[in-house]
Amino acid sequence: MTDAFRIAEESLARFCIEALMASSVPEADARETTAAMIFADKRGIASHGCSVLPGYMHHLRLGNINARPNARILADEAAYAIVDGDGGLGPVTAARCARIAIEKAARSATAFVAARNSNHFGAGSYYALIMSEAGMIGEAISNAPPVMAPTGSRERALGNNPYAVAAPTRGRPPFVFDMATSVVAGRKVIAAAEAEKTVPLGWLLDPLGNPSTDPRDFTRGGALVPFGGHKGYGLALAFEVFAGVLTGAGIGSEIQGRTHEPAGGVGHVFRAVNVSAFMPLEAFHDRMDLLIDQMKAAGKAPGVSDILIPGEMAHRNEMASNALGVPLAKETLKALTGLASTLGIDPPNAHTP
């Protein structure tokens, strides 16, 4: 899927906020959700960007997502907390948990915050970066509805549970690693189907368990494939232990949802490690520089001009988005324009790059 348009960030944010508020979402929650979506688009994570807004709106209309949740803190101790999101928008619950983790880690060196009864939270790196910008090493994990086949199985039985981690740096892009445990995120398969394109062999199984390049097989009940075979499967299951079992959230088929954009029962966990509790932040920055410089100095393979650090390409994308506008695929812009017509609000203003 090729990005075909650039959107002024202010115009896109205005549209997303108005759309969510039209479904009774409070303005503050609409702004938080919009920030998470636009963050993903700006950094080249289109699968978790504004393309998810129509799905969020669909679930808000059905009542699967609670537009005005009464989120509660169920446990509140020095180094941990448990939050019940009351079925609200995932980015709202997740951002709140990340900030609670920062507050607690500032006093207790490390903090662990668990969330239950949440929803799809978008790109985990959004929350990991919130923590790293506060001088923390931040981690974010979520579970998801079953969309992936365990190694040795022919059918979906496990979420492609994502993991993100970010660490602060000085004067260079922060270290950010963000991954799903499937070979590719389900939204990328959905996007390929919408664009009437095939997907590479190894991404997907059809409903009978055969390898497939037809992305429509995903919506027909096919399954994503774990990355690295049993290693991706094992990590997904480990993340389910944290985000599903430990949080008290839904586990596997207990999570309500369609093929993507889950609605209800999702669990997340967030961990913040306060760097300054272990060493001065400047010393940590020095050591991060040393680590990154070692990677950059490694011998390059033929045809490679630069060894990238996780998060570096996304940072470049973000800088380009700041200068040129937020990139949106034509399929996404078409969906948002249709949503604007349905809601009776102005669509975002687009221009070709």
Total-model pTM: 0.94
What number of other Cβ atoms are within 10 A of residue 292's Cβ? 17
Domains, in order of start, for the chain: 1-65+298-353 (1.10.1530.10), 69-182+228-278 (3.30.1370.60), 192-225 (3.30.60.50)
* Identity of residue 293: D
> pLDDT band at residue 258, thresholds of 50, 70 and 90?
very low
pLDDT, tens digit, 9 for 90 and up, residues 144-198: 999 999 999 999 999 999 999 999 999 999 999 999 999 998 888 988 898 889 9
Question: How much is the pLDDT for 245?
Answer: 96
Rounded to 5 degrees, φ, ψ at 191 are -65, -40
Contacts of 280-286 spanning 24+ positions with Cβ under 8 A:
281/135, 281/168, 282/170, 284/168, 285/168, 285/169, 285/170
Q: How many CA atoms lie within 13 A of 298 on its CB side?
A: 13
> pLDDT band at residue 352, thresholds of 50, 70 and 90?
low
Q: Out of 27-41, 119-133, 209-223, 259-273, pick the least confident.
A: 259-273
**pLDDT value at 261 more than 60:** no
Under DSSP, is residue 64 helix (H, G, I), strand (E, B) or coil? Answer: coil
Secondary structure (DSSP) of 67-93: SS---EEEEE-SSEEEEE-TT--HHHH
Residue 321, phi-psi category: left (phi > 0), alpha (psi -120 to 50), beta (remainder):
alpha
